[in-house]
Amino acid sequence: MNFQLALTLQAIWTAVCHAAMQHYPAAWGHYDVCKSQIYSDDGLTWDYMACQPEAADMTQYLKVSLDPPNITCGDPPETYCALENPYMCNNECDASTEELAHPPELMFDIEGRNPTTFWQSSSWKKYPKPLLVNITLSWHKTIELTDDIVLTFESGRPEQMVLEKSLDYGRTWQPYQFYATDCLDAFTMEPKTVQDLTQHTLLDIICTEDYSRGYVWKYDKTVRFEIKDRFALFAGPRLHNMASLYGQLDTTKKLRDFFTITDLRIRLLRPATGATMVDENNLSRYFYAISDIKVHGRCKCNLHANSCVYDKEKLSCECEHNTTGPDCGRCKINYQGRAWSAGSYLPIPKGTANICIPNSIGPVNCECFGHSNRCSYIEVLNTVICVSCKHNTRGQHCHLCKMGYYRNVSAELDDENVCIECNCNPFGSVRDHCNGTGFCICKEGTTGPKCQECLPGYLWDNGCKSLVCDDELLRCQNGGVCVNNARCNCPPEYSGLLCEKSRCESEAAGCGSRESGQPPLTPPSPCGLLTLLLLLGSALLREAPCWPAAL
């Protein structure tokens, strides 16, 4: 796999560059960089992202301890028989001879060679007293599991076993999973398998018979704690939707904690016996032997680091975002402008970095000229801005007037009256927006600071309308009456803008002696007057019918 190659290359590079340190590179999903340079309105700035270290083989970084401490075979030397054949007794263990010793380190060496190398316990000499062994793996660092824990047993899988975990460096322990040939008998638990779990029961601790059953141990040596099957409940069968899992992890601390450990403990409670009855005459058939333990995970850095360093036998995150601590769990001194919080996986793909901000731009420096007492930190711009500016102000420090307002020059910036409403005439102005001295942008024919007046040749009618008629140059003809300078009210027999067209021209009957071009009636017809009066009262009546004066 490319990843393995990358890891190897990285290891070589690291060996060259850092004699005492061991880095591993980042990338699972979109969390491989903590920040990148971006161009914004303010020029070149940093964009901060949630990030996490690459998952790696965590067995390179652990300490192993056994309880009882002298349970490893070979001191004094012992001869073992094979579980499936009590007459095959050629397995020798001698701690003082390298080829015959089975120390705990052999659970973590590179396997794949022949013969396999394994740790082995003393045999069950004190039967029926249980043969109890605890194998504790400690990282002295919180790590997040990313793949199944796999134990390979070389002399039959144990008939009873508990996998436990600690989140507090070994102070307290919780079971992770129970394993038994008979769950009810061993732990009074119903046997279950990981396939029985659902999204709702994912955190349930189960007892499984999947890894203890059967006598064909030669071919079936592994005991698993299934991480990926559990991930798959959220991320889909091939983990193609990690975003969904990350989303769940973001919002559910219990789920995050479930996959987080500082220590693991394998409690071996009963070795494989291969039969219902233990052969008391030959107890050298019964013992534990483990050739390999796989623990794949990553340093937990609270999404504030994309690499983790192994230095002086200790793992620690290389914290970014001005965080510090082995897990990047605090803000650096002088960067406590707001409370520390873990980065978030959401929104996918980048996440929110939740970086620590300098004290100097914390709430104490929330300068809003008294128009707000709340600020927000904009990570992309590395600045603090006021939010919810009152008194019609806006801007980073509430130092500008919001749209529709302009600066009151006689008021200080912290004055409640600092912004004056533009008050643009809604009919006369293009929009409610004015320049620094309160001038609005006027529509055609309109003028004045608020666009409330008409230019010559225009008349106010919900805005300035150009004149149609007046009493001097644009006279209504044929007895028409100029209404409001906006239209001529024509007698029934005339039409046209200025009543210049005779309706009779095309009609045979009803054409009287009046010629077009006759001077208008004086005084104006009562109906014209009436309409004019009505107009003053209500615009709705503007189209009121006008009866001829004769009526």
**Per CB under 5 A, 454 contacts Ca ion:** no
In whole angstroms, the minimum distance from the beta carbon of 49 to ligand NAG comes to 12
In whole angstroms, the minimum distance from the beta carbon of 411 to ligand NAG comes to 3
Burial class (CB in 10 A: 0-12, 13-18, 19+), 496: middle
Q: Do 33 and 48 contact (CB within 8 A), yes or no?
A: no
Q: What is the DSSP letter of 364?
A: G
Q: Do 121 and 71 contact (CB within 8 A), yes or no?
A: yes
Q: Which of Ca ion, ligand NAG, none has residue 117 at its interface (CB below 5 to 8 Å by kind)?
A: Ca ion
Binding mask 169-188 for ligand NAG (x = CB under 6 A): ----x---------------
Using the minimum distance from each CB to Ca ion, give the nearer residue, 288 or 345. Answer: 288
Q: Which of ligand NAG, Ca ion, none has residue 436 at its interface (CB below 5 to 8 Å by kind)?
A: ligand NAG
Q: What is the H or E stretch that residue 15 is in? A: helix 2-17
The rounded distance, in Å, linking the Cα atoms of 23 and 53 is 10
Cis peptide before 76 (omega within 30 of 0): yes
**Per CB under 6 A, 270 contacts ligand NAG:** no
Which residue of 117, 122, 485, 502 would you call a contact of Ca ion, by CB under 5 A?
117
**Per CB under 6 A, 349 contacts ligand NAG:** no
Q: Do 368 and 397 contact (CB within 8 A), yes or no?
A: yes
Unique residue bearing structure tokens 């460096």: 169
The rounded distance, in Å, linking the Cα atoms of 108 and 125 is 27
The rounded distance, in Å, linking the Cα atoms of 394 and 368 is 9
Binding mask 381-420 for ligand NAG (x = CB under 6 A): ---------------------------x-xx---x-x--x
Q: Do 32 and 82 contact (CB within 8 A), yes or no?
A: no
The rounded distance, in Å, linking the Cα atoms of 66 and 69 is 5
Binding mask 77-106 for Ca ion (x = CB under 5 A): -----------------------------x
In whole angstroms, the minimum distance from the beta carbon of 467 to ligand NAG comes to 25
Binding mask 110-149 for ligand NAG (x = CB under 6 A): ------------x---------x-x---------------
In whole angstroms, the minimum distance from the beta carbon of 253 to ligand NAG comes to 24
Q: Which of ligand NAG, Ca ion, none has residue 39 at its interface (CB below 5 to 8 Å by kind)?
A: none
Q: Which of Ca ion, ligand NAG, none has residue 415 at its interface (CB below 5 to 8 Å by kind)?
A: ligand NAG
Using the minimum distance from each CB to Ca ion, give the nearer residue, 291 or 484. Answer: 291
Q: Which stretch binds ligand NAG (CB under 6 A): 62-70, 193-201, 233-241, 248-256?
A: 62-70
SS3 for 248-290, per residue? HHHHCHHHHHHCEEEEEEEEEEECCCCCCCCCCCCHHHCCCEE
Using the minimum distance from each CB to Ca ion, give the nearer residue, 57 or 210. Answer: 57
Give me the residue whose beta carbon is nearest to Ca ion: 117
- Report long-range pairs for 465-473 (Cβ below 8 Å, ≥24 apart): 468/497, 468/498, 469/498
Using the minimum distance from each CB to Ca ion, give the nearer residue, 111 or 257. Answer: 111
In whole angstroms, the minimum distance from the beta carbon of 342 to ligand NAG comes to 17
Using the minimum distance from each CB to ligand NAG, give the nearer residue, 55 or 73. Answer: 73
Which residue of 70, 85, 201, 388 would you call a contact of ligand NAG, by CB under 6 A?
70
Q: Which of ligand NAG, Ca ion, none has residue 318 at its interface (CB below 5 to 8 Å by kind)?
A: none
Nearest to 378 by CA among 387, 391, 388: 387
Instruction: Give residues 268-307 in contact with Ca ion (rule: CB under 5 A).
Output: 291
**Per CB under 6 A, 436 contacts ligand NAG:** yes
**Per CB under 5 A, 109 contacts Ca ion:** yes
- Give me the residues paired with residue 347 across strands: none
Q: What is the H or E stretch that residue 23 is in? A: none
Nearest to 419 by CA among 397, 432, 441, 402: 402
**Per CB under 5 A, 152 contacts Ca ion:** no
Which residue of 52, 123, 322, 323 would you call a contact of ligand NAG, by CB under 6 A?
322
The rounded distance, in Å, linking the Cα atoms of 448 and 384 is 40
The CB density around residue 533, as the number of other CB atoms within 10 Å, is 10
The CB density around residue 250, as the number of other CB atoms within 10 Å, is 21
Q: What is the H or E stretch that residue 231 is in? A: helix 228-235
**CB-based contacts of 483, cutoff 8 Å, min separation 6:** 489, 528, 531, 532, 535
Q: Which of ligand NAG, Ca ion, none has residue 408 at its interface (CB below 5 to 8 Å by kind)?
A: ligand NAG
Phi and psi at 419, nearest 5°, equal: -115, 125
Q: Which of Ca ion, ligand NAG, none has residue 439 at its interface (CB below 5 to 8 Å by kind)?
A: ligand NAG
Using the minimum distance from each CB to ligand NAG, give the nearer residue, 252 or 336. Answer: 336
**Per CB under 6 A, 284 contacts ligand NAG:** yes
Applying CB under 6 A, the residues found at the interface with ligand NAG are 67-68, 70-71, 79, 81, 86-87, 89, 122, 132, 134, 164, 173, 265, 267, 281-282, 284, 322, 332, 408, 410-411, 415, 417, 420, 435-437, 439
Interface residue list for Ca ion (CB under 5 A): 106, 109, 111, 117, 291
